[in-house]
């Protein structure tokens, strides 16, 4: 099944952002609430303080947008995971991956880079978004960051 882009979500968010920060954040929250389960949204409040410093002050939506750009660049996905446009399935996956990465406190770029290195070394031919949040990948990334810090 081919993913459908959500042009209406994109239009609504851009229109609201043009009206001001508060309107933009409100529209982002509404867009997320339309796609995500309430328990998923509640986890953001729990993990926000762990989020990497460079995105800690961003809204949950904008942090997800930042992660999507990192993934798009690393996978040469050409905007496939942009939460303003992506399918609801991809929206949920990138949002939940962002929450997982937030729990580690690791920069999105570092996390994605180490995760992709691990997956390619493990023989993965194609990398799917869900693979970036698997336990063995998280463990590898945490190990790699610990070694670099030592």
Tell me the per-residue pLDDT of 92-115, one tens digit each, with 9 for 90 and over.
999 999 999 999 999 999 999 999
Domain ranges across the chain:
7-106
Tell me the per-residue pLDDT of 52-62, one tens digit each, with 9 for 90 and over.
999 999 999 99
Give the single-character DSSP code of 82.
-
* pTM for the whole structure: 0.85
Q: Which of 99, 70, 97, 68 is nearest to 84 (CA)?
A: 68
């Amino acid at each position: 099944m081919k993913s459908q882009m959500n042009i209406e979500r994109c239009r609504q968010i851009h229109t609201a952002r043009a009206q001001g920060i508060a309107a933009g954040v409100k529209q982002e929250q509404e867009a997320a609430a339309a796609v995500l389960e309430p328990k998923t949204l509640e986890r953001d409040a729990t993990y926000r303080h762990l989020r990497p410093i460079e995105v800690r002050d961003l809204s949950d939506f904008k942090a997800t947008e930042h992660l999507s750009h990192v993934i798009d660049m690393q996978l040469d996905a050409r905007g496939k995971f942009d939460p303003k446009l992506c399918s609801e399935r991809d929206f949920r996956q990138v949002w939940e991956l962002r929450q997982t990465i937030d729990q580690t406190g690791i920069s999105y770029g570092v996390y994605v880079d180490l995760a992709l290195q691990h997956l390619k070394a493990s023989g993965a031919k194609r990398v799917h978004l869900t693979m970036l949040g698997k336990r063995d990948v998280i463990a590898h990334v945490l190990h790699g960051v610990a070694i670099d810090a030592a």
